[in-house]
A and B are shown apart, each in its own frame.
Chain A
Amino acid sequence: MEARDRGGAPARPLWTIGVDIGSVAVKAVLMRDGEWIDRRVAPTGWNPGEAGDEACAELLRRNALDPEGLGRTVATGYGRNAVKADGRVTEISCHAMGARYLFRDGDERCGVRTILDIGGQDSKAIALDRDGNVVNFLMNDKCAAGTGRFLQNMAMMLGCTLEDFSALPDIEPHAVSSMCTVFAESEVVGLLARGVDKRALSLGLLDSVASRAEGMLRRVGLHEPVAFTGGVSRSRNLVGLLERRLGCAVRVSPDSQFAGALGAALLAQKQARRGRSAPEAR
């Protein structure tokens, strides 16, 4: 059935954009009346504002929309203040909202209670209540331990790519004890010099990330179902190691990388609907 406003005339479709400016990639999502229409991912580069604006413009261009037809844009991520937007919301709220969308069971039920989000420079554990509202969250402290950046550095050390980390054979990981990116580097150098298998070491590095994530998830209050969002969730091996540590299933989606942008676009829908004269978001 076609949506109609109170007068009975066909309502204008509500288009919104959510843009998530991460430290590595810009993710933008176009939405129409709560439905996911298009997406765009691009490297953040050295100018996060420009990269974000460009991603949004590209979505409008290829969907033949003019900026006036757009209801609202909400920005999130560390570069949220650098980009043109009508509202700015933190990654925590956006990932929660995005994860609810990605992992919804049936129509309404929220299919997730605990979210792990590992991005380029941040990792977060978010606890939701049964209705999907954020009730608690934890963020990593200011260092890169356990983040995508950590894995990227380690991949470079081992002369492989992040993708190689995902295609490792089922062998026992070799423990890496240091969480600090710099100390872990020296530890890895030492272990390689002692002839430790490179693949076991790679798994060990992933497992150290899993161990740190486990700590955060348990501290925030672990409830099933657990979902994993953010770019790092594309590593199948990491998901497996995390499931082994938590002793429960961890839900991932091929669209996990877009969770933040999706959440932002959904919040933009909500805010725009709350009155076309939507107040500036906090």
Chain B
Amino acid sequence: MHDIDTILETMREAIPAGPVRIKEAVEAGRKVVGCYCAYTPYEVIRAAGAIPAVLCATSEKPIAAAEEHLPRNLCPLIKASYGFALTDTCPYFHFCDLVVGETTCDGKKKMYELLNRLKPTYVMQLPQTVSEDAVEQWRVEIERLARRLEEALGVTITEEALRREIAWRNEERRTMTEFYALSRRNPAPISGRDVHMVNEFFRLSFGDPEALELIRTLTLRLRENYDAGERRVSPDARRIIVTGCPTGKSVEKVFDAIEENGGVIVAFENCGGIKPSYELTDESLPPYEALARKYLGIPCSCMTPNDKRLDLLEGLVGDYAAEGVVDLILQACHTYNVETFQVHERVGVPCITVETDYYQGDVEQLATRMGAFVEMMG
């Protein structure tokens, strides 16, 4: 039974070692491409032989520095991203050769202009609607990225490499989806805090097959131990889905508030969770077209219309037998904040919106709000 705790501990300990692994890879001659967003087609970067590394963006620490250049009432994620780069406190940014950005929101696309002064930044023009024209436009953008990578890294991206990486990324998505699906069981076999930690571990494993194997083993053990009667989560805990803006370190305060006050998070419908991984890339299509279709299909609030997110969320509420939805909004994230109205209309279970930033001053308030939300379910 202690097996699971050991695996979780191994993962927890591996997270802070991420920078060391990147440093070692760089010293061994590998190239690193920094990314921020779920729309980044990792497959192309990997096919170019480089490591796609998610850049730091989820701590309040560098925000004060960022505010010397950026407006104060901007999304904390954008301020933190820029602040980390500006203060050279993100090891992944430090070691990367190129940054890939996307025009997902106004704040980010303007921030990238400043970021470009610190590190070469390539910005992909993301269409903000889904249509055949948009797929074609996005395919051209992905191919442009490939040419830019070939030029910057002095390599050639072959179709064979692309197909291989598409298959591998699909394997990663399948593994994560299977892990997430554990929480459909009632009571949930694992807490949301642990799921979020595993996400973090996966994110910082940089395509390592052994890391993926460890996640598979965890899934297997959780299933076996659960069937043998182990209960890690109270059967009384109210089942909550978290939706909305990207998550990360500084907003873990919201997850704590939920899970320390009688709730359990059974699914994260966020960029770091189910949203980018529940659909696979079609391996039978020509690679660039397949990637364009896959990535354009991510239901981010930057898309208009974005009914697909509401469909996904509604489906998750049913599949995970959710009793409540917590809609997490980062300050000044207009697209998610406006979509909130539709989220409340659609989910069919109690729903609460919390607007927050990376500072920890609202921890007590969050405990009351999340506690009351859980109590409201009786």
Contacts and interface: CB of A to CB of B under 8 A. Distances in A.
Contacts of B368: 78, 90-92, 122, 139
Contacts of A282: 236, 261-262, 371, 374-375
The interface centre, meaning the residue of B365, B371, B372 with most chain A CB atoms within 10 A of its CB, is B372
Contact of A139 (B262, B369, B378): B369
Contacts, number: 47
A90 B371 contact: yes
A137 B361 CA distance: 21
Interface in B323-378: 350, 355, 361-362, 364-365, 368-369, 371-372, 374-376, 378
Interface in A64-93: 78, 89-93
Contacts of A92: 368, 371-372, 375-376
Contacts of A142: 361-362, 365
A120 to B, nearest CB: 13
Contacts of A90: 261, 368, 371-372, 375
A91 B372 contact: yes
Interface residues on B, range: 10 to 19
A107 interface: no
A165 B274 CA distance: 53
Interface string A248-270: 00000000000000000000000
Nearest to A139: B369
A44 B295 CA distance: 55
Interface in B220-236: 236
Given A78-B368, A141-B355, A89 B361 contact: no
A139 B365 contact: yes
B240 to A, nearest CB: 13
B374 to A, nearest CB: 6
A75 to B, nearest CB: 12
Contacts of B362: 141-142
A150 B378 CA distance: 33
A137 B261 CA distance: 17
Interface of A: 78, 89-93, 122, 133-137, 139, 141-142, 279, 282
Given A134-B376, A282-B374, 7 more contacts: A89-B371, A91-B372, A93-B375, A93-B376, A133-B378, A135-B376, A282-B375
A-B pairs with lowest CB-CB distance, top 3: A282-B262, A92-B372, A90-B372
